[in-house]
Amino acid sequence: MGLLDKLFNKGISTDGILTDDEKELRDYENNVYTSESGVTDSTYAEFVIDDAIYISKKGLVTVGTVTGGVFKVGDSIQICRGETVIADTAIIGIEQYKTVCNKVAEGAEAGLLLAIDDVNMRKLIKRNDIIKKV
């Protein structure tokens, strides 16, 4: 009996002791793995800004990468440069590769539409500023 046959056809051993492979298979079958597995919604989240664009009749969009955690539409955020807080606002929309999303997780590149309707804020935001979930 090969290892694959043993793993897939045997089932759980009767002595109650699982091999590492059996534990891994059990965990894989019992859990749905996503890009945000293990990340709680209320934990710390961070987004590095590459660019900020003001779109008339929509508002300020920041484009960049989520470097930690999960951002959702409606999250309260702060835009920071070092220890200085540039603005307190909220996320009112998320877009990823021309697809509207409700949330983005670590590693995703996205555009965050912010609840800022001030064209001058675009000039205050610089590349590598950080968006943090409050």
Shared-domain flag, residues 55 and 107: yes
Which residue range is the domain that position 24 belongs to? 1-31
Shared-domain flag, residues 10 and 59: no
When divided into structural domains, the chain yields a total of 2
Would 39 be classed as within a structural domain?
Answer: no
Residue 76: predicted pLDDT: 94
Residue 51: predicted pLDDT: 94
Would the pTM count as exceeding 0.75?
A: no
Residue 37: predicted pLDDT: 47
Q: What is the DSSP string of the chain?
A: --HHHHHHHH-S-TTSPPPHHHHHHHHHHH----TTTT--TTS--EEEEEEEEEETTTEEEEEEEEEESEEETT-EEEEEETTEEEEEEEEEEEEETTEEESEEETT-EEEEEES---TTHHHH--TT-EEEE-
Question: What average pLDDT is seen over the chain?
Answer: 81
Residue 103: predicted pLDDT: 93
pLDDT averaged over 10-residue windows placed end to end, the chain, 134 residues: 54 62 64 49 83 90 94 94 93 92 92 90 92 93
Shared-domain flag, residues 116 and 64: yes
Shared-domain flag, residues 103 and 126: yes
Shared-domain flag, residues 21 and 50: no
